[in-house]
Amino acid sequence: MNNISSRKFWAVIVTGILLAIAAAYLSLTNGTFDMSVLEVIKTLFRIDPQQDHTLVVFEFRLPRIVLGALVGFALGIAGAIIQGVTRNGLADPGILGINAGAGLAVVLFMFLFQGVMNLTGWLGVMLMPLFGIVGGLLATSLIYIFAREKGRLDPQRLILVGIAIASGFGALTMYISLKMNPKDYEMAVVWLAGSLHSANWKFVVTMLPWLLLLPVICLRSRKLDLFQLSEDSQTSVGLNVEREKSIFLLCSIGLVSASVAVSGSIAFIGLIAPHLARQLVGLRHIRIIPVSGLVGMIMVLIGDFIGKTIFAPAELSVGIVVSIIGVPYFVYLLLRTRG
């Protein structure tokens, strides 16, 4: 049985990687400026390079694809962690207000440093995730304060509090963005919709250090399985519940905040990806986490491809495309949970 499960897990991983490569290929070859496979290969390997092909591939499409893959991977893993810690299948960084908290902090950063710092320069790009973490921690702290009942986190109250916090932070974010000068306001609005339109290699480099959290998450993934037990059972098997909960939540907030800083708020990835992962590979988090990351990666890559091609030459933000899929799925999960 273990061998069968292992084979199925690796089959899912290989299939997921192939789907991600296929989505990346479509994004690389299609767009306002279409390129053939041969032209892309020649450009990538610097064989008889042409200036316009080099510009399109290396300055516009490739950083966008790589950033979308990293963001989707991070959000999928963060969603798996949050659902595992809270034991709530409806939990998600966006629904719980973590995205909104990180987004508020990043917009506040844009507002405070507009005209003082180049927001797309190295310093601005590297500082934004740190502001995002502060906002994410604030949202998480408020959730813990208002969603606890008799010293325990209530799953139903968690969703209600999260939606309220997300709405409140969203209103504050909009108020602050309206105080910006027109240029920064336009940048903030596009970013708030969850967009990869401004992707560049600086954003990619900004995401990479936060992916160092993945070994920490994977090494502790078996402890996430213990979170599915009752709190008394968790204590009886020697799990330091509060410490492990804090480590996992800090890791997920770090991943979400870094993602929000470079791509804005892309909702529902952290909700849908873990559900699909559990259906594919079972309930062990050592398998759920990487598969959830792969599913998130595929969702963002396909969503971005749809957004930039279906209404070409106009673009639809990847956050909007994913939300169109995510809202009905959330309603389906809500009805299934009630049933």
pLDDT over 90, % of the chain: 29
The percent of the chain in helix, strand and coil, each rounded to the nearest 5, is 75, 0, 20
State the Cα angle at 225 between 222 and 227, rounded to 5°: 120
Report the pLDDT value the prediction gives residue 1, as an integer from 0 to 100: 46
φ, ψ for residue 118, nearest 5 deg: -75, 105
Report the pLDDT value the prediction gives residue 329, as an integer from 0 to 100: 84
DSSP H stretches of helix in 115-268 = 122-147, 155-178, 182-192, 201-207, 213-219, 221-226, 231-236, 241-263
For the chain, the domains span: 2-338
Per-residue pLDDT for 105 more than 50? Answer: yes
- The mean pLDDT value of the chain amounts to 86
2-338 CATH? 1.10.3470.10
Q: What tokens does 253 get?
A: 């907030």
Neighbours of 327 (CB within 10 A): 12
Report residue 23's pLDDT band, with 50, 70 and 90 as the boundaries: very high
Section 58-62 average pLDDT = 90
Per-residue pLDDT for 187 more than 80? Answer: no
Per-residue pLDDT for 316 more than 90? Answer: no
C-alpha 302/C-alpha 166 separation (Å) is 26
Per-residue pLDDT for 72 more than 90? Answer: yes
Per-residue pLDDT for 199 more than 90? Answer: no
